């Protein structure tokens, strides 16, 4: 269950249909993936179950998860979390962007530190990608470009298969230091619309006080952290904001747009990947940011807490209910 159907994100697994079928088993010792940060830990577990364990930054193999097949493949599955937009670019062009993956390399490595070369990022090719949104028509045109000898279609990679893999909410994390929030942070829709469109910039704002039982939370700047990279999380979150913020009475209308990248206010801090935003929130006094739930508390022990939001039932029925994210 998530906060609202409008802020629920689904991870899409994009697979080059003919990749394994046309490559002899002895010729390829690694299967390369990249894309969204949201499902990266899940893809790492699956990869370690069905292939050779990838060592962490210390060169130590990560323990194989429970209930794995008795006879896994001899492939090494590598997945670099660079964001949905980067993953889609890599998938449709077979050229991984030159960026730094945001994987936690101690537990979620993207390269085999004991075997450099083809086992390091950027990978020599891409076999699958993760994304929080499906491929657009223009992306598919790039994929199937028969006039481009380097397109996946021209390289006999087959059809592009898009498969749903997992689902989870987008959360609003906050740094609680110095904030008077005995029951945690509660936000009505108009309030978080105002925060993310840049209109609410101090924790003593009247809307925040009203949402939280009349308590003046603090007199300090409210700082927003957002994604710097092309992000499926941003795509889904801004689509939600574009939807709910513009519903009547629309006291905080959304004018920033929607997509994997948008023109955020210049005052917002920027972090790469969900991990980058989570790190900014944790390190910045008075900060809030939107992230996947696997990067904050309670999934991350000691991580930043998340706000409880007004959901659709509360809006429709006029109740004063606020719902926490679930995973």
pLDDT in tens, 177-217: 999 999 999 999 999 999 999 999 999 999 999 999 999 99
Query: Which range scores top for mean pLDDT: 13-17, 256-260, 292-296, 314-318?
Result: 256-260
pLDDT band, very low/low/confident/very high, at 6 (cuts 50, 70, 90): very low
- Show the CA angle centred on residue 303, arms to residues 297 and 306, nearest 5°: 50
Taking residues 270-288, report their average pLDDT.
94
19 pLDDT higher than 60: no
User: Which pLDDT score, from 0 to 100, does residue 217 have?
Assistant: 98
pLDDT per residue as tens digits for the range 63-87: 777 788 877 788 888 899 888 888 9
Prediction pTM value: 0.76
pLDDT band, very low/low/confident/very high, at 102 (cuts 50, 70, 90): confident
User: Which pLDDT score, from 0 to 100, does residue 246 have?
Assistant: 92
Contact 7, 171 (CB under 8 A): no
Please count the helices (runs of H) and the strands (runs of E) in the chain.
Answer: 9, 11
Q: How many angstroms separate the first and last alpha carbons of the chain?
A: 7
Taking residues 7-13, report their average pLDDT.
61
User: Which pLDDT score, from 0 to 100, does residue 291 have?
Assistant: 93
288 pLDDT higher than 70: yes
pLDDT band, very low/low/confident/very high, at 2 (cuts 50, 70, 90): very low
Taking residues 36-55, report their average pLDDT.
84
Distance from C-alpha of 112 to C-alpha of 77, rounded to nearest angstrom: 10
Given CA atoms 217, 310, 300, 282 in this order, what sign does their dihedral have?
negative
Residue that wins the pLDDT comparison between 222 and 28: 222
Contact 229, 85 (CB under 8 A): yes
pLDDT band, very low/low/confident/very high, at 264 (cuts 50, 70, 90): very high
Q: Which positions ≥6 away from 292 have C-beta within 8 Å?
A: 9, 37, 38, 168, 170, 171, 233, 274
pLDDT per residue as tens digits for the range 146-176: 999 989 989 888 888 898 888 888 999 999 9
pLDDT per residue as tens digits for the range 206-258: 999 999 999 999 999 999 999 998 888 898 899 999 999 998 788 999 999 99
Cα–Cα distance list, 35 to 92, 131, 148, 164, 189 (Å): 12, 6, 23, 14, 30
Contact 66, 72 (CB under 8 A): no
pLDDT per residue as tens digits for the range 127-146: 999 988 888 899 999 999 99
User: Which pLDDT score, from 0 to 100, does residue 249 have?
Assistant: 83
Phi–psi pair at 85, nearest 5 degrees? -65, -45
Distance from C-alpha of 32 to C-alpha of 264, rounded to nearest angstrom: 32
Distance from C-alpha of 169 to C-alpha of 303, rounded to nearest angstrom: 17
Q: Let me know how long the chain is.
A: 327
Locus of tokens 């929130």:
281
pLDDT band, very low/low/confident/very high, at 5 (cuts 50, 70, 90): very low
Over the chain, what is the mean pLDDT?
85
Distance from C-alpha of 216 to C-alpha of 264, rounded to nearest angstrom: 27
What percent of the chain has pLDDT above 90? 44
């Amino acid at each position: 269950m998530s906060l609202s159907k409008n802020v629920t994100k689904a991870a899409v697994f994009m697979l080059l249909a003919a990749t394994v079928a046309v490559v002899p088993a002895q010729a390829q010792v690694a299967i390369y993936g990249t894309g969204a940060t949201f499902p990266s830990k899940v893809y790492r577990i699956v990869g370690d179950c069905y292939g050779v364990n990838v060592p962490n930054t210390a060169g130590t193999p990560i323990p194989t998860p429970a209930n794995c097949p008795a006879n896994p493949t001899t492939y090494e599955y590598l997945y670099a979390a660079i964001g949905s937009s980067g993953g889609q670019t890599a998938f449709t062009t077979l050229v991984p962007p030159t960026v730094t993956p945001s994987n936690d390399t101690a537990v979620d490595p993207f390269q085999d530190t004991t075997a450099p070369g083809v086992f390091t990022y950027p990978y020599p090719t891409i076999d699958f990608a993760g994304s929080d949104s499906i491929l657009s028509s223009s992306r598919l045109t790039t994929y199937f470009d028969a006039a481009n000898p380097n397109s996946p279609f021209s390289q006999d990679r087959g059809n592009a298969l898009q498969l749903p893999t997992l689902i989870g909410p987008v959360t609003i994390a906050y740094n609680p230091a110095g904030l008077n929030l005995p029951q945690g942070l509660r936000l009505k829709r108009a309030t978080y619309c105002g925060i993310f469109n840049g209109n609410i910039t101090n924790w003593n704002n009247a809307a925040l006080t009203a949402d939280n039982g009349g308590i003046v939370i603090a007199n300090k700047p409210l700082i927003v952290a957002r994604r710097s990279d092309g992000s499926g999380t941003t795509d889904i979150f801004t689509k939600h904001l574009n939807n709910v913020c513009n519903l009547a009475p629309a006291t905080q209308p959304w004018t920033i747009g929607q997509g994997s990248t948008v023109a955020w206010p210049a005052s917002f801090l920027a972090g790469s990947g969900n991990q980058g935003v989570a790190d900014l929130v944790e390190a910045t006094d008075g900060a809030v940011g939107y992230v996947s739930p696997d990067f904050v508390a309670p999934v991350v022990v000691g991580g930043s807490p998340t706000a409880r939001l007004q959901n659709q039932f509360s809006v429709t029925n006029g109740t004063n209910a606020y719902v926490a994210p679930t995973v």
